[in-house]
Structure 1
Amino acid sequence: MGEHILAEVGDGLGIITLNRPEKINALTREMVADIGAALEAWRDDASVGIVVLRGAGTRGFCAGGDIKAFYESIRGDRHQDFLDFLAEEFAVDSAVATYPKPVVALMDGLCMGGGVGLAGHASVRIVTPRSTVGMPETRIGYSPDVGGTHLLGQAPGRLGEHYGLTAGSMGAGDAIEAGFADLCVAEDALDDVLATLPDLAGLAAPEVAAALEVLHGTPAPRGTSTVASERPWIDAAYAAGTVAEILAALDATPYPGAAAAAAAIRANSPLATETALRAIRAARAEGTLPEALAREHRVAAFLMDHPDLPEGIRAQVIDKDRSPRWVPSDPAELDLASIAGVMPGP
């Protein structure tokens, strides 16, 4: 294993620790490979009954992928290298989703993008009151990947479109409401969870989740679950056919949250938001993670050939001027046919 992944076995547990706390455990290609190797080694290991995914440090489980490396690949015209890395990352996310043993993800603190790809597909997903979960890709001219369109597509009502287009983040309560997490425990109870898990080794994932809920579960703190009460206007506005039509519906909605959502969408790449909208809806219609991952890979290749992606990363991550120049800047000017061309699936 490299220095940024710790893999330990003991007391019936296989514990994978993302160990890059200075970068909030942002994933590199080496880290993805090491996670995949650990999962493969433990698949038929009788000494491992439960796999645990956690992050080192106090800031979060995983901030996502290494965006600067992504930027360098695009600027250096090494698109295929990064597409190959995405294929490897998607394979690990799929392995988590289909693992034959319970996978318990501790989504404490920040869990974004690639972190959701690991934790969001685990069989038992635990948040804490300080968790922040999200798929913020449209903010940089990209579309949710790592199976994010599948998770967003399975969210109740139109919550998937809402979070995907706004690039909004979820607290513990909203993450549970949207189907990105299963239960909440207090931050200082995570060690207790780890101490309990050896007694649960050998149980199926639903039984593990139920036991942890009874023994350590706590209600998500007040104020972290807001979308349940906002579902009526969210479901109505995001039922519109295109981003331009959704924005018109939000503008006509007399709720403060609608105005904030419209402003957030307008700040993001029109190409990315329209692409994300269609990918989320396609994933909802199909309902399977493999189909969503295959589409997300096609979408990545499509967006890497467009100037919005390097411009979005420049504005948000490199220069941090927060003033991206999108092409086009108006969703009404998008070439919808070109976007539709990457959506077909089986």
Structure 2
Amino acid sequence: MTERLPTEDETVLVRREGRVGRLTLNRPRALNALTHAMVSRVDAALTAWEADSAATTVVIDGAGGRGLCAGGDIRAIYEDARTGGSASPAFWRDEYRLNARIARCPMPYVAFMDGIVMGGGVGVSAHGDVRIVTERSRVAMPETGIGLVPDVGGTYLLSRAPGELGTHLALTGTAVGAADAILCGLADHHVPSERLPELARQLADTDVPVAVRRHASAPPEGELAADREWIDTCYAADSVEEIVDRLFASGHHGAKQTAETILTKSPTALKATLAAVRRARTAGTLEEVLDVEYRASCAALRTPDLVEGIRAQVIDKDRTPKWVPGELGAVTPADVARFSAVPPGGDLGLAGALS
């Protein structure tokens, strides 16, 4: 018997439970990857609830039990990049505006970051007020592995992680568990996954902080705190090449493995990402950073690495991308500067709209 896929209106389940507006991303076979229609549906729900005095809290989660959201619809972006289309910039425009809206939501926005939470999944969760991870959480911004720069406000979040932890996560795309997500400022509380349904029920008639305290507990021990010394030392370098050299020379086995991981990523995306994270540190608002990330994403759409990266990781799954250029030393300042250029369709303009 053929499994029926969700219709467009069913890809986000929207309902009210008491005073809580519930959003469930509902493409479980695709790990709830975001489509343009899903972004629009979430945005419309927030509009309705912000105008409804009886709705006091928003809760977002993912269907299927494997994750909140694995990111944007990468296959759609792949086809768009191959054909020179305009669908991806239009998607990113609305997606990034939604990310900014979540950050400024006038009611508590509670994200259940259970399971896989990557890329666009971080965008619809980590800008919220109450970000809950579980023992199953794997949180990542893996964009450099497909020729992109971390987006959806990712460079803003990572630039504010302690020390150089955010730079480490941005360049490597490493997925972290609950404790490390909290340490890096990507999440707030750990709640065992089995307690999420009861927490959701209590949020319908209990103040958010009280309900969360009833269920929160210490997460399993993370890994990054013990690696802070070599991470902070190595990633303080001014270039990706020097970061890699320091990692190889540090004498730590984990640092050597990290250097080898970095060298598998798109050289152009790595250099553009380091520049973006450093620039985001001095930005005053999330909106400013989203404007810059929109430029970077639109630029990536016109590079060979995006198509090749998605092909290698998602389409053919051979995990052997042929990057152009293939080495860090061949990436020029002009190549990096293209990621800051105004896109052909114009800027996002979020920071200007805010002012």
Q: TM-score range by the shorter chain?
A: over 0.9
Cα offsets for 1:209-230 (capped at 9, x unmatched): 4x244211111113xx111111
Aligned-partner Cα distance in 2 for 1:286–1:96: 19
Cross-structure match for 2:82: 75
Q: 2:192 aligns with which of 169, 186, 190?
A: 186
Aligned-partner Cα distance in 2 for 1:116–1:62: 8
Matches within 5 A, 1:79-94: 80-94=86-100
Task: Please list every run of 5 or more consecutive structure 1 residues that lacks an aligned counterpart in the other structure.
Answer: 202-207
Aligned-partner Cα distance in 1 for 2:270–2:247: 15
Q: 1:123 aligns with which of 129, 139, 145?
A: 129
Same amino acid, percent of matched pairs: 45
TM-score between both structures, scaled by the size of structure 2: 0.92
The number of residues matched between the two structures is: 336
Comparing 289-298 with 190-199, which one deviates more in the overlay?
190-199
Q: 2:50 aligns with which of 32, 39, 43?
A: 43
Aligned-partner Cα distance in 2 for 1:284–1:175: 19
Over the aligned positions, Cα root-mean-square deviation in angstroms equals 1.5
Cross-structure match for 1:61: 68
Aligned-partner Cα distance in 1 for 2:73–2:271: 24
The answer to whether residue 241 in structure 2 is matched with residue 244 in structure 1 is yes
CA 30–178 in structure 1, closer or farther in 2 if over 3 Å, else same = same
Cα offsets for 1:34-92 (capped at 9, x unmatched): 001001111121111100001111111111111000000001110x3211110000111
Aligned-partner Cα distance in 2 for 1:343–1:318: 28
The answer to whether residue 220 in structure 2 is matched with residue 221 in structure 1 is yes
CA 287–252 in structure 1, closer or farther in 2 if over 3 Å, else same = farther
Cα offsets for 1:85-115 (capped at 9, x unmatched): 1000011111111000000000111101000
Cross-structure match for 2:16: 9
- SS of the aligned residue for 2:117 comes to strand
Q: 2:254 aligns with which of 249, 253, 257?
A: 257
Deviation of the 1:284 alpha carbon: 1.0
Q: 1:273 aligns with which of 270, 275, 287?
A: 270
Aligned-partner Cα distance in 2 for 1:154–1:67: 27
CA 213–47 in structure 1, closer or farther in 2 if over 3 Å, else same = closer
Aligned-partner Cα distance in 1 for 2:228–2:337: 28
The answer to whether residue 170 in structure 2 is matched with residue 164 in structure 1 is yes
Tell me, yes or no, if the aligned pair for 1:150 and 1:287 is still in contact at 8 Å.
no
Task: Please list every run of 5 or more consecutive structure 2 residues that lacks an aligned counterpart in the other structure.
Answer: 1-7, 342-350
TM-score between both structures, scaled by the size of structure 1: 0.94
Cross-structure match for 1:173: 179
The answer to whether residue 153 in structure 2 is matched with residue 147 in structure 1 is yes
Aligned-partner Cα distance in 1 for 2:211–2:329: 48
Aligned-partner Cα distance in 2 for 1:40–1:256: 50
